[in-house]
Each structure stands twice: as structure tokens, then as C-alpha cells.
Structure 1
Amino acid sequence: MESNLLLEQQRVREMMKFIQLEIAKLEGDTTKLKEDVIHIRKHFWDEVRVSTDSFDDYMETIIGLRQEAQALAIRQSTHRHAGERLDALKRLQHIPYFGRIDFKEEGTDQTEPIYIGVATLTDPSGEDFLIYDWRAPIASVYYDYEPGPAMYRIPDGGNIQGELEKKWQYIIRDGELVSMFDAGVTIGDEVLQQVLGQGTDKQMQSIVATIQQEQNRAIRHDKGKLLIVMGAAGSGKTSVAMQRIAYLLYKYRDTVTSDQILLFSPNPMFSSYVSNVLPELGEENMQQATFQEYMRDRIDEQFKMETPFAQLEYVLTKRDSPNYPVRIAGMKWKASVACFDYIQEAITRFGTEGMAFRDIRFRGRILVNKDQIAKRFYSQESTMRFANRLEEVRLWLESKLKGFAQNERQKPWVQEAVDSLDNAQFYEAQVALAKQKGLRGDDVSDVEVDEKDLARLIVQRRMNPVVKAVHSYDFVDWTGLYCQLFDVQSNGNVTLPKEWKAIGAMTKKTLDRGHIFYEDATPFIYLKEAMLGFASNRSIKHVVVDEAQDYSPFQFAFLKQLFPSARMTVLGDFNQSIFSHSQDSNEFSLLTTLFGEEETSSIHLAKSYRSTKPIVEFTKRLVPNSYPIVPFERDGKEPVVEEFTSKTTLHAKIVAKVNQWKEQGFTSIAIICQSAKERKDVSSVLGETMDHVLITTKSNEYEEGVVVIPSYLAKGIEFEAVIVYNASDKVYGDESLRRTLYTVCTRAMHELIVFSLGPKSHFLEE
């Protein structure tokens, strides 16, 4: 072993020397290439003789331009490739590789050592691989097999069989081989223990050196339209999502770019948390958004949309409200597949009756009333697509508005408006009329303006909002149509909830106030876009949804409509379902209907790596009927549950414990409250005695240090030490909050303390 260590240390030093020499060489090359590109751009026209006197001169000019453009394109391409190789070398300069396999391909007598790192490195000839990228097909053997028979898939779909003779893991720091392990099992526990025993960071780091076999299956999965990754808290779902995106960008680098992959994240802070992973692996970041942002961009401007966090605040803090049961029932219904089907049926019904339209008004007068619009709509063939029928009505209305505009020019109010123009207004009108005629600059003053032109311009400007409204299909009463959904008291194909009438009344009252519940946003937008035709984005090739348990079946159906050309990867844990619509669910089986069973695959990540074994054993007892949760063998302190009778004593204990943890070297400590209201109360009390960061829905970046954070913003993030502020039966006693308590407890990596103001939750008793 010692001789192996010496030989491997020698190789590491040789690699470091080679990498440093290549970096120095490429830095010079890229500087020279950049100067060449700048020079060619600067003197582009100096090298081209431009003449169009004859056909031969014209052709000579075209050929000259093409030659210069080609020279520039070649230099730019060479500069780009040199820059990419330089970036790859810089990623390798401190840790050139982390693993090695000795693989003998079937049918050969030669065993080839394969070194694996975060980027590919070849010898100067470019023919021999010194280091393989972890995403290369042969590198999958490192993650998937113990010594013995092994195989890997190649891009054409075939398999390469062989024998994995040895597997090694390396710990290299700044070019020095610290240690190496004979990994008799997949990714030996020694390295993983070291990684998991470290502290956390402001940003998630790449896990390519410690990817486990089941994680690797999810990362490299490449069948069908939908991959569902179910995993326990701390099983690495988010890390898998990021490495999977890196893998897709590597495998499909000729057909898929980073801006064609979209990650839906739970909140803006989470987006910042994962923003470092892909650049660390040499890839540009994919697009990121929250589902809330997508909804907000599509909702009518007349409504102020509730955020998902405000909805959760209601769920957590308004249990004593008399309308609470109705609101919760509405949340669950509006998130369901039944609601989706119900709206589909309603759209079919609107094709023959019940369409709601608005009067077209101008200056207090009705130009076209809603009954006339309805008559026009229903005069068309009912077999026409809904969107085509509405478009025909729109064109008809726009034609009528042109006629109204012509008649309006003769009205007295127009003449009064013309007569009252001052010099500045007249000049502005002159400029506008000149632009309509295609004139600019000095030509404006030459434009002759008569009263007819001015009358036409004034009427056009006054009618512009009406024309825009018609063009945007605002002649349809979308709010009225949505409210009609709740007027139907029974439906033969869909069972309505017993609170149906009250749900409808609450929904209408909220819309009348210019607000829209978060649970109404997706059904409302779906109703509108299903009639008008979806504003689909076909450029997105892959959609990744993290914290998928927080999405309703309705929302997933909507995402499929938004991105019809995309494959999907969804990752989640129903034990962490904290939204009311998902409280009754325990699996993703409904998602198989999105693309069908043949196009859907599921992978379960059972092992939890984030927390110590005592914390995992403690937290999994909070969800006794869940799927298996297997702790990684990492020892630590037992979680502590402690009750207090006064806030003063509780707060003093929190301050003492946090100071103790800081002395131990913990840099990431969370005090997790149930709600934003509770978080605010805690922060105001602790503010004078302890420095801390208050995390809100507007926080765009994860902060190190001591944070006070509500339960739903802590999702997806990990902390070295966690205090659950008040896990009393009063706060966490309802069955619907069992999973919320589980979620906050699973944020802890090394230490967990659960405090309770009064008797602790009976879930902790269990």
C-alpha cells in the first residue's frame, strides 16, 4: 500500500506540473488570440476593397468580405475553445482527480487505469486520456460496481463488458495526495464520512466525488419523458438534480444548451444556494424560476396574487378563523385532478352556452354590448376550435372599432380638443403624424397638418386603450367565467366537495376585492389559456422540479402544457409535504398520467446522508407510515427535547446554546420557527442579546451565521446545528403539521435541539 501511495503521489505531482505548464501556455495563447480577434474587428474594412462599379468588382468585394469574416470566425472559435480548455485546467489545478478504476475490457488482456475528475484532460497529442470527466460513459463503472464483472453503456446504445479489477479513492489537497482508499464497496465510507462531517457553506457544492450508486442511476437516467426521484430528507435529491443537469449538458452538448433547461426552485434564496454547482463543473447555469413567478407573469393585472408563502402563513396561523375549514377545502379541491377535469368539462359547456363577455365602452358609451358579442360568438360553428372562434370575434370587433373611430372624428368633443391644442401639443401631434408617414428629424417641420389629421390622431389616441383591450381579448369576462364554475351545484362526472357553495362565495368575494388566492391562480390561468391557446415555450428541452411534493397535480398538468417539448425530472419527498393540498398524499402515482406509464420512471433514494444516524433515527419516528429511511452510519449526539414554562427561560437557553455552538466552530446555525409571525416575535426578543439574520420571503441569498427562519423557507437547505423554537402540542399538535415538524427537524446535520414552550407535541411522545 505504501509503495502504491508513493507511485500515486508521483503521478499527482506529474499531473500538477503538466497542468500548470498547460495553463501557462494557454494563458499566453488566449491573450494572443484575443488580441488577434480585436485587431481583425478593428481593421475589418481596411482589408476589403469595396467597389460596385462592375459585376466583377462587386464579386471581388463579396469574396473579400467572406474571407475576412471567415478569418474572424476561425479566430473567435479558436479563442473560445482555448478559453474552455483553460477553464477546465483551472478546475483541475488543485484536485486533478478523485478516483480511479482498473478496468479490463472483455476480449483484451490489457488492464487500463482510468482516472476520474471534474473535467477531461488529454496528453498534448489529444489522443490519450490522462483524466476522464466524471460524466463520461466509462466513469459510471466507478459509481455503479464493486470489483468484479462490470459494464457501461456507450453513446450508440451498446454495452461494453469487462472486469473491474480495482477501485481507488483519493483525497488530494492543493496538489498533494493526502490519502487513498481501496474502495471495496461503492464510494467507500471513509471519504463520505469526511465530507459529511464538514460544515456547510453559503452555496451548495458539487458531490461528484461522493455520488452513490442509487444517485448515479438518477443522474444518468435517460429513458422516457418523466423521471420521478423520491427520496428521504438528506438523501441528496437537490444535489442529484444539479449533477443531472450537468450530465445532460455533457451528454447532449451538441443539441441542448443551459438556457434550454429550466429549474423550478422553491424560493429565490434556494436559487442562490445552488447557483455555484454548475459553474464548478464547467457548465453555465440553467434558467431558474419559481412557479410563483411564472403565475405572476400570466395573471391579470387587475388582481394582486397571493404568494405561496402568504398562503402557508394563513394555514399555519389562522386556524381559529371561522372560514378556515372552507379555505382549506378550497385549496385541496383547486389543486386536484378533479378540478382539472371539471374545468375541461366547463370549457366544453361554454362552447354552446354560458360564455361571459364585457361591453365595449368608450367615453361612457357602449359601442358593442356583451349580448351582441355573445350572439356573434355563438353564430359560429361549434366544431371550430375555441381559440379560433374568439379570434374571429376579436377581428370582428376590431373592424367595428375602425368604423366607430371614423364616425367619432365628426363629434363636437373632437373639434373642441383640436381647437384647444397649444403650441407644444401641436408640435407633438406634428411629430406623431410625421412618424406615421415614415419621416424623421428635420423632415418633421415640413409636414403639413390639417384639422382632419389632428382629429384622426386625437380619436386614435383616445381609443387606443379600447383597441388594446380588444386585442388582448379583454372583451371576455374571464373573472365572470371563473366564478361561473362555482355556480354549478352538481356535475355528473365530477364529485364536488360538500363545502362547494361556501368555497364559491369565498372565491368570488376575494376576486371582487381585486385579490386572487394562490390556489386559484393556476385554475384561473388554465381556464383562460385553454380557451385562447396556450402560450407554450417549445425552446425548453428539460424541466427540473425540486420540492415536487409542494406542487399539485393541477400544476404539473399546467407545466406540461407550458413546455410541450420538454422532458421532466421531478424530485421530492412526501414526508416534507407542508402545503395543504398535498397533506393527504403519500406518493407521486398521479404523475404517471402526465406522460403515461411507459414514458415514466421512478427511482427511490432511501439512504439519508445529511444528518447523523441519531438524528435520522429520531426524525423518521415522526413519520411512522412512510417509505423506508436508512441512515448513513455517521455517529453523533442524540437529539434533545426540552420543555419550558416561560419564554424568558427559553430565550436564555437559546442564547446560551447558540454561543456554545459558535465556540465549537459551527458557522451555520438555524433557529427554525413554524411561521413568519413566530419568527418575527423571536427575532425581536433575541435581537438585543444575539447577532442573527432574519430570513424572509424577500431574502435572495442564504446567509451563514445564526439565522431565524420560518419552516417553509428552511426547506431544501441544511444547517450544522438546528433549534426548533417551539415544538409544543399547541403549535405542532394537528396531524396536518406532522410533516412540517419532520421537515424542520431534518434540516440538522450534526446537532438538533427541539424546544417546547409548554407540553411538547404528541408526535414527539410517539
Structure 2
Amino acid sequence: MISENDWKQEQARLNEVTGTLQAKIAELEPEVSGLRNQVTDFRKKFWEDVTVNTSTFDDFEETLYSIRQQEALLNERERSHRARLQRYNNMKRMLPSPYFGRIDYEEKVLGLSEQIYIGVSSLVDEDGLSFLVYDWRTPIASMYYDHSPGPASYATPGGQIDGEMLLKRQYQIRDGELRSVFDTSVTIGDELLQQALGKGADAQMKSIVATIQKEQNAIIRDDQNRMLIVQGAAGSGKTSAALQRAAYLLYKHRDRLRADQIVLFSPNPMFNSYVSTVLPELGEENMQQTTFQEYLAHWLGSSMQLEDPFDQIEYVLTAAGDGSSAYEARLQGIRYKASESFLRALQHYATWLCMKGMQFSGIRYRDREIISAEQMAAQFYSYDSSIRLANRALLLRDWLLEQLTTLERAERAADWVQDDLDYLDVEQYEEAHKAVLKKYERDEAVFDFTQSYIDQYGDFRGTEAGEGNAFDFADQEEELLRRTIVKASFEPLRREVRRFKFIDFVRLYGQLFSKEEAYEYAEMTGTAEVPEKWAEICEQTLAKLDASELFYEDATPYLYLKELVEGVRTNTDVRHVFVDEGQDYSPFQYAFLKQLFPRARMTVLGDFGQAIFVQSTNLHEAGSPLARIYGADETRLIRLVRSYRSTLEIVELTKAMLPGGTDIVPFERRGGKPQLVQLGGSEVRAGRIASDLAELRAEGFDSIAVITKTAAEAREAHAALAGAAASDGLRLITKETLTFEKGVAVIPAYLAKGVEFDAVLVYDASAATYSRESERKLFYTVCTRAMHRLRLYSVGDVTPYMGELNASLYEVSGS
């Protein structure tokens, strides 16, 4: 703590900053309100100030100019309102706690010293010349996170500034009142971090700008590498750092980067809710948030039923016990279809398709085939062999549209068209009549001639009896109606052709699995390296395709093949892609993301210790597929080994379960030892858990998870607890759950990834549920969700992951 005199000076300074904030807020409040009303009124009166006149070209041009002028004025007022509103909101956000840190710094060259106070946003004094508070993202503020008192430097656009840090100080300010002050020689003093970590879990992740550690700051401010890989232990703050990184990028590149140019791929929809408040808390708009499954469903969901990753892992976990050949074939198929080998196989397949093997669907119209698949194939392979696959598909599409135009023209004389004409209503005939008139009005010379002819002869008849009308409107009206009827009937065909529906992608993808002999597969793909159970993999895949369904492991390759044929869909607007729980993505998916966002930098966050999916990617091994995406020169790996989420006792237990877990360093925050509750039978489990839930609530914990292995077990546990009078606040979490809330959540292990709870109760920690080595990381993931309390319940023998640990790491009790 600091001296009493220093405390008084700090309080006086805080009062000064708070007063400045209050004055600026009061000054801006009527401006913000007034501008909002101006914009609203302007929108209402937009058309009142625009004279719409299209009589002549000059009138039309003047109208267009007037609209654009009004639009520019409206846009300017909206921009002005947004800028003032952002400043207003930033100051309102700062008012309860204007800053959290301070450094005293003396520049080496000029010898100038300054007291630098650091907060979530910048604040200048009344004259606009001096900073009262620096935004944590400014270059000079980086020293607060990276240096201790002594020699220190920071980078600016003009070069590096060297000097000496004379003091580093940290504050706790609540509601404008100074609560505590610490002088420290490290980035964040243990006192401040202890208090932050000792709080209960919340329904939403919070900003960590006041407690950013040096290694997290390296993640946040990395602006050089195309690929940033963060391999972090459970609870190491990698996701929090990534969100602060997004805020930093938006601040540093505010002139050329928008929030909607950043995309976060998160593990599930509920996680999106959990992290949704972090950027707004820092005064930034939220980036785009989605899941990889949502992206697949957007492009494939209308034509195929997609398995999601949670259904896939549910199958892997529940069918593991049968030991069948079909189960092993599925596992081999998942691994192979997620690999770089299969990616290369599809690329070679695309080359092979340029020579033969394309699959088409004939075009049918009114119960007859008007263009056959054979005609399409003949046309497709008539193009020069040097033309790549996607360009040939475009040429064939254009040819088909031309064929449809010819066929449509011929169809106008069909008998069914006359039948449809007989059932048209009066309004449709009137529209056709007006259209014919407009046709002539557009040609001024013809229109003048027509009027002259009517004035002279009274109608359109020729001078001799029986001669046909010079302008036979009735015939033209009928011709227009015929054209309209046939055009409307052909439009669905045109729409389908434009969307490449004439290519049979199900058969095209299935063709890869119809050749069970390795040499036949090698001809198409250039590789004979197939899994041992290839025949069963083929059988399983084709059965799904026949039902218009796709395994999760097939969805990305299927979409990739579609893009090889149709042309790659790229998003060049997105500049930064964040992938959370990155170990759960396959090498194939990473290659696809690179192709999808060709101008983006990628930040991948994950923990291979939590790699629970079959297709997981090792983030940190030398020469990993992820490191090869952009090459070694443009890739940086940062390891986070210190775990902050859980108490020391919980971390000591969980790291001992994991091979290589000795590298994990717990933060020195103590709590009770994890407890293993051994039960005499499953019938008493619900009652014991209900009793423990009541005890934990009485301790003040209001975010508690009962974590099961699978969704089926979660439903069972939820029903049992509801029947054991533990239903108060009890919520069953499924893959459809969209929001994360406080209370008691009954949740499958794989949906709990990325989220933290005050207390975790492992519903079944017995050997009957967790015994396979492949499930060790799943069990580790479950236990590392706990911040303060961890309890495990076992009926019969406990899981070997616990049995092999030192018994001093946990307490044992009975039912």
C-alpha cells in the first residue's frame, strides 16, 4: 500500500478526472439527444425536401441530384451523431472507474517525464492538449503490461522510444471511489489479480484489460504475422486475450478496419452469447460471430441434411463400447476425411474430372426431358482440355441458358399455352395492352406517325376493304402474353441452371466411394493410401448420400469439391479470422478457411490437452498442418502455460491427469481440495448431488454445472435431479441452447468447452463411464471448467484417470 499523503494526492486526482468526465458528459448529453432528434426528423421529412420530376431527362437528373444531396446530408448527420454518441458512451463507461493503472516514465532523449494513467478509453483535459487518461491500446500504455520499473521502451509509427519507468501503480476504483492502490514491480500485482479471479463466474465473459499479463499482451498486440497460434492451458486466458486483441486491432486500424471485417468462429451458439459483451464493454462494435457448422448449413443445408459435430462426438462416445468393425471404420473415415491427404486427393480428382467422370442431371420440363445428361457431358468435354474445371462449368452453364432460350421460343406455339391464355383475367390483358402501347411510345417517330395516321383515317385500317391492321394490337398482345406465360414457366429452370443444379454433386462425391478397390480410387485421386477399412467407409458414406445426408466429416470435403467445380466462393472483405477451440478443427477445415478468406490474417486459439474430437489438430507440434498454412516465416506460436481460472488445488489435480501436464503452472489462489464422492449405488446419486447443490448455493455460488459425458446422460441427470427436489434454477443445456445464464446447468462435456463455472459437479466419474485413453482429454476438459469447487461422483470403481493420481490431491467421502 502507499503512504497516506500519496493516497490523498491520488484521491484528489481521481476527483479531478471524475469532475472532468461529469462536465463533458453534461456538455454532450443535449448534443447527443438533439442530434438523435434531428436525424429522426430528417428521415421523416426526407421526401418533403425532394421534388420528384421525371418528365424529361434534365428533370430526372435534377431529381437524382436532389436525392443524393439529401442522402449525403443525412449520412453526415448520422456520422456526427454516431461519433458524439460513442464519445458519450465511452465517458459514461469510464465514470465509475476512470483508470486502473499508472506508470511514471522519463524519455531518454528529451529527458521529459510524465505520469501516464491508463484506462479503457482516452480522456483529454479541457484545453484538449493533455491526456488525463490514456486508452490501454495506445503504444505508450503497452509498457504497463510489458515492463517493470527500470529501462523500458515502446514502439511508435516513428520508431522506438527508449527511457526509464520510474513507477508502476495499480488501482481499484468503484463508483468513483478509490478502494485500493498498489505499487508493483510486475505486470499485475497478485493482490489485484487475486481479487479479480476470486469473484464468481458470470453469465458473460468480462474484459480483462486491467489484468492483462505480459504473455497475453504479446497476443493482443501482434500485428506482423499472418498466422498467430495460441496454445494455452485450460484457464490461461487465451480467449479473453483474443477478444482484447480484436478490440486492439479495431483501435489501431480504425481508419481502415471495421468490426464486420472480423469473424470469430466459436465452438457453439451458446459460446457466442457468453462472449458477446466483451467488445461493447470496451466501446467497440461486436465482430461477426458464427460457428463452422452454421457456415456449412448456409451453403449445404437446403439440399443435404448435415450431421453436426456434436452428433458426431455423441456417436463416438456412446458407440465406443460395442467394439464393432463398423465403429472402427467410422473412426478411420473421420480421420482420413479430415486429413491433408484427402484434401490432395480431391484436388487430383478435380484434375481427373477434366478428362472424364463428370456427373450431370438432365433438365426436365413438363414431364419430358428437354436436355439430357449425355448432351451436357458431350458439350462439357468438347471444350479445350486446357480450360480448368470451374471455367468449363461456367461455359456449360452459359450454353444451357442459350439452349433454354431457344427451347422457350419454340414452346410459345404449344397447345398448352393457348389453354393458359383462355384462363387469364382482365387485369393481365390490360397489362399486356399497356405494355404494347409503351413499346410504341418509346419510339417517338413511330408514335407521331401513329397519331397522324389516326387523325387522317380514324383507325388503323388500311385504305382498301379487308386489308389487315397496320398495327395489329390484338395479335401483339397475344404474342406478349404467350411470351410471358412461357417465360414464367422456364424461369425456375433458368434459376436452377444459374445455381449449377444441373451438376449432380451427390453422385460426383459418391463416385469417390464407389470404387472400393484401391487402384481404382488411385486412378481418380492419385493416391492409393486409403484406410484399412476402406470398403466399409465407402459403404457408410454411400448409404448417407443415398438418403441425402452427410456425415460431419464429409460436409467440408463435399463443399470443397463443389467449389472446385463451381468456382471458389471467397470473402475478400474479411481481414481477420479468429478460431476458438482451434484444436477441434481438422487440417482440411483450416485449408478451407484459408481459401474462403484469402486476404485475412488468422488467430487460432486452443489447447491440445482438450482435443476431444477424432479429427483434432495438434496446434504446437513442429511442422504441424496449421504451421504450414502460411509458412514458417508468417507464423508465430505463443504458449500460455499459466492457468488462472481454477484454484491451485484444482489445477494440481487436473494437470496430473494429462500427459505433459507438468508444464502447467497454477496461479497462487487457494481453495478447497477437489472431492471424490464414492456412492454405494446410482439410486442415491441424485439425492447427494441435490444436497451438495444446496450447500454450494448457501456458500454464494450461483453458477454451477452438473457435467455429464453425453447428451443422453445429461437428459437422464436432469430428470433425476428434478425429481430429487433440486429443480430450483435447474437448466438442461443442449446444442440448441443459445444463451448462457447463471444458475445450475446440466450440460454434456463437449458443450461446456470454453465456459467456466463457480463449481463443477462431475455426474459420473466412474470407470464404467470414463476408462478409455481416448476419453482422458474429455475428462480433463470437464474438470477444468471449475473455478472454485470441484466434486466428482462415482458409483463403483473410480475412473483410472483419478485412481492413478496421488491420493493427497483430493479428498474422498462416501454416500
Bin for the TM-score computed over the shorter chain: over 0.9
- Whether 1:696 aligns to 2:734 is yes
* Residue equivalent to 1:651: 686
Tell me, in whole angstroms, the C-alpha distance in 2 between the residues paired with 1:40 and 1:297: 38
The code of the aligned residue for 1:614 comes to: E
- Whether 1:476 aligns to 2:467 is no
Change (3 A) 1:144 1:28: same
Contact 1:105 1:111 in 2 (8 A): yes
Q: C-alpha deviations, 1:27-68, integer Å up to 9, x for none? A: 123234445556666778999999999xx9999999999998
1:372 shift after superposition:
1.9
1:649 shift after superposition:
1.6
* Residue equivalent to 1:362: 365
Tell me, in whole angstroms, the C-alpha distance in 2 between the residues paired with 1:57 and 1:532: 45
1:301 shift after superposition:
2.5
1:467 shift after superposition:
2.4
1:215 shift after superposition:
0.3
- Whether 1:714 aligns to 2:748 is no
Q: C-alpha deviations, 1:673-727, integer Å up to 9, x for none? A: 0111000011111113112011111111101011100111101000000001112
Indicate which of 99, 102, 105 corresponds to 1:103. Answer: 105
Change (3 A) 1:66 1:540: closer
The code of the aligned residue for 2:675 comes to: V
Tell me, in whole angstroms, the C-alpha distance in 2 between the residues paired with 1:614 and 1:246: 33
Tell me, in whole angstroms, the C-alpha distance in 2 between the residues paired with 1:455 and 1:733: 73
Change (3 A) 1:123 1:35: same
Deviates more, 1:241-250 or 1:724-733: 724-733
* Residue equivalent to 1:524: 558
Q: C-alpha deviations, 1:703-762, integer Å up to 9, x for none? A: 101110011110100000000111222211111111100001000000101112221111
* Residue equivalent to 2:512: 485
Contact 1:122 1:128 in 2 (8 A): yes
1:114 shift after superposition:
0.3
Tell me, in whole angstroms, the C-alpha distance in 2 between the residues paired with 1:395 and 1:256: 38
The code of the aligned residue for 2:571 comes to: N
1:406 shift after superposition:
2.8
Deviates more, 1:667-676 or 1:312-321: 312-321
Change (3 A) 1:63 1:677: closer
Q: C-alpha deviations, 1:505-564, integer Å up to 9, x for none? A: 110111101211111100000001012111111111111111101111101111111111
Change (3 A) 1:751 1:38: closer
* Residue equivalent to 1:547: 581
* Residue equivalent to 1:572: 606
1:433 shift after superposition:
5.4
1:363 shift after superposition:
2.9
Tell me, in whole angstroms, the C-alpha distance in 1 between the residues paired with 2:782 and 2:501: 45
* Residue equivalent to 2:571: 537
- Whether 1:404 aligns to 2:438 is no
Indicate which of 651, 663, 668 corresponds to 1:616. Answer: 651
Change (3 A) 1:47 1:645: closer
Identity %: 47
Indicate which of 635, 649, 666 corresponds to 2:670. Answer: 635
* Residue equivalent to 2:89: 87
Tell me, in whole angstroms, the C-alpha distance in 2 between the residues paired with 1:596 and 1:682: 47
Tell me, in whole angstroms, the C-alpha distance in 2 between the residues paired with 1:626 and 1:436: 78
The code of the aligned residue for 1:739 comes to: K
The code of the aligned residue for 2:366 comes to: R
Tell me, in whole angstroms, the C-alpha distance in 2 between the residues paired with 1:709 and 1:480: 39
Contact 2:606 2:619 in 1 (8 A): no
* Residue equivalent to 1:125: 127
Change (3 A) 1:399 1:199: same
Change (3 A) 1:386 1:438: farther
Q: C-alpha deviations, 1:347-392, integer Å up to 9, x for none? A: 1111111111122222332222222211111111121121211111
Q: What SS does the corresponding residue of 1:288 show, helix, strand or coil? A: strand
Contact 1:693 1:703 in 2 (8 A): no
Instruction: Report the aligned-residue RMSD.
Output: 3.0
Indicate which of 748, 753, 756 corresponds to 2:794. Answer: 756
1:328 shift after superposition:
1.2
Deviates more, 1:322-331 or 1:736-745: 322-331
Q: C-alpha deviations, 1:637-693, integer Å up to 9, x for none? A: 111123223112211110111100000000101000011100001111111311201
State how 1:301-380 maps to structure 2 within 5 Å.
Answer: 301-320=302-321, 322=324, 323-380=326-383
The code of the aligned residue for 1:556 comes to: Y
1:71 shift after superposition:
6.9
Q: TM-score, normalised by structure 1?
A: 0.93
Indicate which of 616, 638, 642 corresponds to 1:582. Answer: 616
The code of the aligned residue for 2:664 comes to: I
Change (3 A) 1:148 1:494: farther
1:320 shift after superposition:
4.3
Q: C-alpha deviations, 1:378-410, integer Å up to 9, x for none? A: 111121121211111111112222222233333
Q: What SS does the corresponding residue of 2:241 show, helix, strand or coil? A: helix
Contact 2:656 2:662 in 1 (8 A): no
State how 1:134-533 maps to structure 2 within 5 Å.
Answer: 134-156=136-158, 158-299=159-300, 301-320=302-321, 322=324, 323-419=326-422, 421=423, 425-427=424-426, 429-430=428-429, 451-488=478-515, 489-490=518-519, 491=522, 493=527, 495-533=529-567
Contact 1:338 1:494 in 2 (8 A): no
Q: What SS does the corresponding residue of 1:651 show, helix, strand or coil? A: helix
Tell me, in whole angstroms, the C-alpha distance in 2 between the residues paired with 1:393 and 1:755: 63
Tell me, in whole angstroms, the C-alpha distance in 2 between the residues paired with 1:455 and 1:46: 43
* Residue equivalent to 1:12: 14
* Residue equivalent to 2:29: 27
Tell me, in whole angstroms, the C-alpha distance in 2 between the residues paired with 1:431 and 1:698: 52
Which runs of 5 or more residues in structure 2 are unaligned? Answer: 440-472, 805-815
1:183 shift after superposition:
1.2
Q: C-alpha deviations, 1:290-312, integer Å up to 9, x for none? A: 10010001116231111111111
Contact 1:234 1:611 in 2 (8 A): yes
1:449 shift after superposition:
7.7
Tell me, in whole angstroms, the C-alpha distance in 2 between the residues paired with 1:496 and 1:433: 63
Q: TM-score, normalised by structure 2?
A: 0.87
Q: What SS does the corresponding residue of 1:497 show, helix, strand or coil? A: coil
Change (3 A) 1:362 1:79: closer
Contact 2:234 2:784 in 1 (8 A): yes
State how 1:63-78 maps to structure 2 within 5 Å.
Answer: 75-78=77-80
1:463 shift after superposition:
3.1
Tell me, in whole angstroms, the C-alpha distance in 1 between the residues paired with 2:63 and 2:305: 59
Change (3 A) 1:484 1:69: closer
Change (3 A) 1:162 1:391: same
Tell me, in whole angstroms, the C-alpha distance in 1 between the residues paired with 2:478 and 2:764: 75
Deviates more, 1:409-418 or 1:391-400: 409-418
* Residue equivalent to 2:469: none
Q: What SS does the corresponding residue of 1:525 show, helix, strand or coil? A: helix
Indicate which of 594, 599, 610 corresponds to 2:634. Answer: 599
The code of the aligned residue for 2:498 comes to: H
Tell me, in whole angstroms, the C-alpha distance in 1 between the residues paired with 2:65 and 2:480: 50
Tell me, in whole angstroms, the C-alpha distance in 2 between the residues paired with 1:447 and 1:72: 50
Indicate which of 536, 557, 568 corresponds to 2:591. Answer: 557
* Residue equivalent to 1:443: none
Change (3 A) 1:43 1:743: closer
Contact 1:330 1:503 in 2 (8 A): yes
Q: What SS does the corresponding residue of 2:663 show, helix, strand or coil? A: coil
